Structure 1
């Protein structure tokens, strides 16, 4: 029965492909006559249409993102014409949904697209480039998602632009995609970029071409040098899995855009990644810029091919909710930092700092205390670059699946090394073989089953997933790190701490405050559960004016007052809100944040087994 079903499935796929090949492609043309004002003109031509109303729309979600985004708001002047260029009626049914009630067997649809946001999610158009994320660019027609697609950029050469994309080149600035899913997963950069390319001989002997395309204010020599660094990183990542994926059309492309006013982002795709960075240029910033490359390239295995079933197929009308982002993003986060050290770009101490950040995220946040890694993954439909106008209590109910999963990966790696003489690399390779290489989407149960089979210990696998993935238990990181001759200790012993109601501006949100002239310090978001400030009753909307009898004018003055105290000291705080003037007392605690230091730095001598484990963990795997 199983073989019969497989045969039937193969026949169905062949039949669907044959049908698609008999239909004319959906043909897009994108030009930029008003690029100076961030506009593009998009034309979509469709033939061999069935009868009845034709409904089309803009997307509300994007591959690589897990929250919804209203791309339809930047589309206007939507028009339609029949095959003789006579105007057709277009009705707007919803903000991003349109309908043509009557038409013949061929339709041309045109619209104007605005874009002025350089990141991995949206669209940016100006005289220097067109940076296109396809869900933010392409309107699509219901019922035609299996049709082949062509995309042409007729005025690219006129503007001095070349096209960087994972779409298949067909000549004359025309590219193709087999279907809508692939098109929407294909970010595209049109600019006078610089390119560095190389080939990697894969384990099967076939060559995979990899391209670094960089739109930045750098000379070619700088890009060539940076490309060699990325090339070194690619080989280190290949060593984890034992092979590169087989890239469609034999190519993988890093689409890199670097400029100070960019929004900053990294967005993985099947055969490319869109990396947007906020530096002035590559030169002088190479080491810092590599971090995004390390993370995003790891996704060409983990997420793009080792793919959660909850993301299959990708829904462009609303966000797919996934239970597995702690693995998909979190394990990638862990490896992104680890591989920078293995490749020699970061020191072991750099990695200890990032690992300490992962540990702090699970031991010192209410989101990890009260919510599991699975629950954190589900919250991505709101958290992943989603925009909320109204305040949320995210500080207290959410711990990023990036760091949550990264901490789980760190613990599992050390468990495997110290208890089974295995490694997380070995485990990732087994997941790759069971799910990624054959492209069989996985569930959490599948991940547990691979671990059980791999370790030959179903008990260990069941216990680990029950406690640390589904549950709220936390690994004993101090004991695990000790196996590598590393010490987990408080970073600021004896330092007084009130909780984060005042912090440097660059740290952003999460329980922060801002100064308000000379009237005090306004707390702008929820204070964190369990902190001294929370216990004292301070929260968003409170304006702190006095602390310990001293005026509070800004975050620096509040922090200075706290820094002069000891854990256990009490400070009286005067504050106001809509209910009037108030006083409360904060009982200061010790700063709970952790750091990781080596035995050697602490004046201790690691044993040979500890050194061996550490060296095998952090050393290069490229032979």
Structure 2
């Protein structure tokens, strides 16, 4: 009896401690028509000394810094008696309350009118919230639990969708700041379709499609059937589902033509924002984002780089591993749609062609490593700059670079070791993902060496292709599957002008790429082309006609305007470097049985019937 009373007393004290420490929010939308939300934050048991409250400058799933504080105004602070407190503002997104009592209440207005995975948006149809863009937080209290109550009784048929734990009465719970910030929330008159999946331990979990779109319930149900096939192929790669907190995973989808568009992964959900009129009739355009983001529920959310731990809300984490975290996810996002029958083999070939062209022809890949590309994410991942950068010449997206690396490693494992990239992902999952041990680049190399039983291969691969800038022999590797990588326009002249702009008879250059004929000729962004090979230029066709009449190696004269001054240069044409990837059958050559088997084992479904 004494033991029971002790246990009961401990439980009461624990609940009391929870109540004393939880940071609670209320959110209402009285002026949603003008994109405003009203937010209140109550902080009990405030330590002595100045209280610092701030908005985040970064967001889980995003890698660049963002200024969420710019959309906060009317911020006020009160003590437990409702008395106003003095507020100082040492930075644009930081508020200091020097003197206060044991409890502090903060109120503010938030403007939100950008519907994507990063920001917040409010209107008469919904409240779309990325949490770091929405909620201020007290500094130094990250371990405290959070409660948030949404008030929307005046909004017709609105309901809440979020990975936060429901507590009843439109109130939701997060154990700490990290989980709270990782929990996007959609409140709308949405439609939903759900299905259960069984994990290897026999436990059932539920996957939910939440769709705020102009679709019928039948369209949502049909789309969910497609997603089921996709989910099955993801499971086949990893061997088991993650253990989703509270037994649920949510696809939070918002579809409207004026949306910004995005996909952002979270631990037990993903925010997917599409720019089509609806889902029905556009399914093929939308599936890629779903597949990519769902793969993240393993890769990144649990199989996680140490450089992202813990997530820093004051500025962006810089990471060496995004080539795997995002790039391998990009590779599988497309591949698994082909395996599930939702995309064709020709679709897959087109995708592989794109990433091979990018990694073999872009200066960002020729001169910089996948690790360098990953580090540049702090500037590239929806980061905003008004000044011109040299990104075209120093950066290839870690999505594309990593996908090309995954493609090469998959083909090499299949041809040299009778293994697959699936085997490598499962090995990483077992060692780091399932136990949630954050990994480093040396850990990735070590696991590859253990899987292949060839540490020398792993060391060489990482030295040349991860730390270094060498490129795998894609033509040789792809031929194993009966795919031919070849010049798309052999013998055709190439100027390197890029995507010219022609407006009112004025043809203007974009930024030119390092090593291209245009770059070598001293031409660059905003130069206006006047003549090519003595012929006046008024439109794109006139330039193309001149270039097509020449051969690689020939020299042509260019006159152009630079800051209003007419200048002349000589340009030596090169052979067009663009590649094409085609099935060997389309070249007139024979697809051997070995090639067919290799291709089938790679691109066909891996789901065990």
TM-score, normalization by structure 1 = 0.93
The match for 1:315 is 312
What are the residue-to-residue correspondences of 1:561-580 with 2, within 5 Å?
561-578=546-563, 580=565
- Residue 445 of structure 1 and its aligned partner are, at CA, apart by 0.4
The match for 1:545 is 530
**The residue matched to 2:587 in structure 1 has which SS?**
coil
Q: 1:145 aligns with which of 120, 142, 146?
A: 142
Contact 2:124 2:155 in 1 (8 A): no
The match for 1:236 is 233
The match for 1:104 is 101
Alignment of 1:371 onto 2:358 = no
Deviations 1:336-376 (A, max 9, x none): 11111001011111111111111111110111111111111
Distance 1:183 1:332 in 2: 24
**The residue matched to 1:329 in structure 2 has which SS?**
helix
Contact 1:236 1:339 in 2 (8 A): yes
- Residue 554 of structure 1 and its aligned partner are, at CA, apart by 4.2
Contact 1:20 1:146 in 2 (8 A): no
Distance 1:64 1:619 in 2: 30
**The residue matched to 1:153 in structure 2 has which SS?**
strand
The match for 2:504 is 517
- Residue 530 of structure 1 and its aligned partner are, at CA, apart by 1.1
1:228/1:294 CA distance change after superposition, 3 Å: same
- Residue 84 of structure 1 and its aligned partner are, at CA, apart by 1.4
Gaps of at least 5 residues in structure 1 are: 1-16, 504-512
Q: What is the Cα-based RMSD across aligned positions, in Å?
A: 1.5
The match for 2:566 is 581
- Residue 585 of structure 1 and its aligned partner are, at CA, apart by 2.6
Distance 2:545 2:276 in 1: 32
Contact 1:549 1:572 in 2 (8 A): yes
- Residue 135 of structure 1 and its aligned partner are, at CA, apart by 0.6
Distance 1:324 1:432 in 2: 15
What are the residue-to-residue correspondences of 1:37-436 with 2, within 5 Å?
37-155=34-152, 158-436=155-433
**The residue matched to 1:620 in structure 2 has which SS?**
coil
- Residue 561 of structure 1 and its aligned partner are, at CA, apart by 3.8
- Residue 20 of structure 1 and its aligned partner are, at CA, apart by 6.8
1:19/1:562 CA distance change after superposition, 3 Å: farther
TM-score, normalization by structure 2 = 0.95
Distance 1:478 1:571 in 2: 32
Distance 1:88 1:285 in 2: 53
Gaps of at least 5 residues in structure 2 are: 1-13
Alignment length (residue pairs): 595
Distance 1:38 1:307 in 2: 35
**The residue matched to 2:30 in structure 1 has which SS?**
strand
Q: 1:534 aligns with which of 474, 499, 519?
A: 519
Distance 2:192 2:31 in 1: 27
1:550/1:219 CA distance change after superposition, 3 Å: farther
**The residue matched to 2:179 in structure 1 has which SS?**
helix
The match for 2:444 is 447
Distance 2:34 2:543 in 1: 45
The match for 1:620 is 605
- Residue 578 of structure 1 and its aligned partner are, at CA, apart by 2.1
- Residue 583 of structure 1 and its aligned partner are, at CA, apart by 1.8
**The residue matched to 1:284 in structure 2 has which SS?**
coil
- Residue 523 of structure 1 and its aligned partner are, at CA, apart by 2.4
- Residue 556 of structure 1 and its aligned partner are, at CA, apart by 5.0
Contact 2:497 2:509 in 1 (8 A): no
Contact 2:29 2:151 in 1 (8 A): no
Distance 1:30 1:559 in 2: 58
The match for 2:10 is none
**The residue matched to 2:180 in structure 1 has which SS?**
helix
The match for 1:602 is 587
- Residue 155 of structure 1 and its aligned partner are, at CA, apart by 1.5
Contact 2:230 2:336 in 1 (8 A): yes
The match for 1:495 is 492
The match for 2:9 is none
- Residue 266 of structure 1 and its aligned partner are, at CA, apart by 0.6
- Residue 613 of structure 1 and its aligned partner are, at CA, apart by 1.1
- Residue 438 of structure 1 and its aligned partner are, at CA, apart by 0.4
Distance 2:126 2:182 in 1: 20
Contact 1:298 1:336 in 2 (8 A): yes
**The residue matched to 2:478 in structure 1 has which SS?**
helix
**The residue matched to 2:399 in structure 1 has which SS?**
helix
Distance 1:614 1:32 in 2: 54
1:500/1:220 CA distance change after superposition, 3 Å: farther
